[in-house]
Amino acid sequence: TPTQGIALVDLDEDGVDRAFRADVLNGLRQRQKAVPARWFYDDAGSALFEEITRLEEYYPTRAETEILRNHSADFHRLIGPGRAVVEFGSGSSVKTPLLLSAIEPGAYVPLDISGDFLRASSAALARKFTGLPVHPVEADFMREVELPDAIVPLKKLGFFPGSTIGNMVPRTAVDLLRSMRATLRGSRGERPMLLIGMDLVKDQAVLEAAYDDAKGVTARFNLNLAERINRELDGTIPTGDLAHRAIWNNDFARIEMHLEAMKDIVFSVSGEKFMMDKGETIHTENSHKFTRRSANLMLLAGGWTPLQQWTDEEGRFSVTLAEA
Ligand code: AVJ
């Protein structure tokens, strides 16, 4: 059932985020230790990600922005005016205005799990686009979301930039595409559209550098997850004994980030004891890369028919417009 207005962050009596603790403890109990990538984004992690997007080696943000800038006439023609733009994740200060200026939207609906980011980005957009109705919704978009009554009559365009879908394994990604379709489906059977960014397979050295930059910002981003566990879950992880690793996994067409123990270590988290042998890792992120074909296939599996696909000049990144 669609969700609206539920408490999204469930804290225990000590103010600890229950979902964070459950994900970390379950993940650390696995043979291959793993923590879901969504937990990177506390305040420190979000600031570090912003810094990543400005790095020389990290091309995805610039490549996708170039696509949005260069094809506004196509978006205007194919999408048309008056649609409610439903953005999955709170908007970026650069990409969202590029899309909104291109298509004359009827409303803008950012969906995000973090109310703070939502309020900040909504206020900025409402100032920039005077007269555009902005309806932020605090929600977990991995499930079907009930949209505000005011935008129900409008046709919808989902917007999911940044190759965030690449963080999910294919079956989770397909589930998400299907819940997006359910969220956007009109009551009168109009077909929603989706504009989605996906990063493309390319030279391994370019990919690995994008996730292991010379200034070490991505390393700090990765290590911040262990520091966050120590801060919020009463952890004793010796972060100085962990090293950042970014590895291309060719079988799964993805960059994996890991934290590797440089020597045998023991630590506790929320009172539970863990050990890692030298060389053992905590798997912290998958960032799947696509071909134009595999991007289309995944959309089709998720119930979306691709209409047109664009890449940047150098063919590094793709943006696809699809219709349900
Ligand atoms: C925000 C998930 C798209 O996978 O490229 C950047 C996150 N991780 N550097 C990505 C990230 C390491 C990023 N996404």
Q: What is the pLDDT of residues 82-107, one digit of tens each?
A: 999 999 988 778 999 999 999 999 99
Mean pLDDT of the region 247-265: 98
Mean pLDDT score, 239-246? 98
Mean pLDDT value across residues 142-164: 94
Q: What is the pLDDT of residue 36?
A: 95
Task: Report whether residue 52 contacts ligand 1, using a CB cutoff of 6 Å.
Answer: yes
Q: Give percent of the chain above pLDDT 90.
A: 84
Tokens linked to 153: 């009559």
CA of 153 to the centre of ligand 1 (A): 35
Taking the model in full, what pTM does it have?
0.94
pLDDT bin (cut points 50, 70, 90) of residue 233 is very high
Task: Please name the amino acid found at residue 118.
Answer: L
Residues 6+ apart with CB under 8 A from 302: 173, 174, 176, 177, 178, 180, 181
ipTM over 0.90: yes
Distance 164 CA to ligand 1 centre (A): 7
**CA neighbours closer than 13 Å in the CB half-sphere of residue 58:** 20
CA 167 to ligand 1: nearest atom: 2
For residues 126 and 109, the answer to whether their CB atoms sit within 8 Å is: no
pLDDT computed for residue 251 by the predictor: 98
pLDDT band per the 50, 70, 90 thresholds, residue 245: very high
Any ligand 1 atom below 6 A from CB of 89: no
Per-residue pLDDT band at 5 (split at 50, 70, 90): very low
136-149: average pLDDT: 91
Q: Which of 91, 186, 98 is nearest to 134 (CA)?
A: 91
Q: Which atom of ligand 1 is nearest to the CA of 163?
A: 3
pLDDT category of residue 52 using cuts at 50, 70 and 90: very high
Euclidean distance between CA atoms 274 and 292, whole angstroms: 42
Q: Which residue has the tokens 């397979």?
A: 201
Parallel, antiparallel, or unpaired: how do β-strands 193-199 and 317-323 relate? antiparallel
Whether residue 261 has pLDDT greater than 50: yes
In whole angstroms, how far apart are CA 112 and each of 4, 38, 145, 264? 12, 12, 11, 39
pLDDT score of 118 = 86
Q: How far is the CA of 182 from the centre of ligand 1 (A)?
A: 26
Q: Which of 44, 29, 47 is nearest to 225 (CA)?
A: 44
Ligand 1 pocket, 177 CB below 6 A?
Answer: no
Average pLDDT on 239-265 reads 98
pLDDT of 175-213, one tens digit each? 999 999 999 997 777 899 999 999 999 999 999 999 999
Task: Say what the pLDDT of residue 13 is.
Answer: 78
Return the higher-pLDDT residue of 116 and 293.
293
Dist. CA 246 → ligand 1 center (Å): 12
Percent of the chain with pLDDT over 70: 97
> Ligand 1: which of 58, 287, 318 to mutate, most ligand atoms within 8 Å of CB?
287
- Range scoring the smallest mean pLDDT among 12-26, 247-261, 273-287: 12-26
Extract the tokens encoding 125: 């957009």
Output the pLDDT for position 120: 84
> Does residue 213's CB lie within 6 angstroms of at least one atom of ligand 1?
no
Assigned token pair, 285: 């992120």
pLDDT at residue 2, rounded to an integer:
53
For the Cβ of 163 lying below 6 angstroms from any atom of ligand 1, the answer is yes
- Quote the CA–CA distance of 224 and 239 in Å, as a whole number: 9
Give the pLDDT band (50/70/90) at residue 7: low
Three-state secondary structure readout of the chain? CCECCCCCCCECCCCCEHHHHHHHHHHHHCCCEECCHHHHCCHHHHHHHHHHHCCCCCCHHHHHHHHHHHCHHHHHHHHCCCCEEEEECCCCCCHHHHHHHHHCCCEEEEEECCHHHHHHHHHHHHHHCCCCCECCEECCCCCCECCCHHHCCCCEEEEECCCHHHHCCHHHHHHHHHHHHHHHCCCCCCCCEEEEEEEECCCHHHHHHHCCCCCCHHHHHHHHHHHHHHHHCCCCCCHHHEEEEEEEECCCCEEEEEEEECCCEEEEECCEEEEECCCCEEEEEEEECECHHHHHHHHHHCCCEEEEEEECCCCCEEEEEEEC
The answer, yes or no, to whether residue 267 has pLDDT greater than 50, is yes
- The reply to whether ligand 1 has any atom less than 6 angstroms from the CB of 211 is yes
Ligand 1 center from residue 162 Cα (angstroms) = 8
Mean pLDDT estimate for the chain: 94
Contact between 316 and 290 (Cβ < 8 Å): no
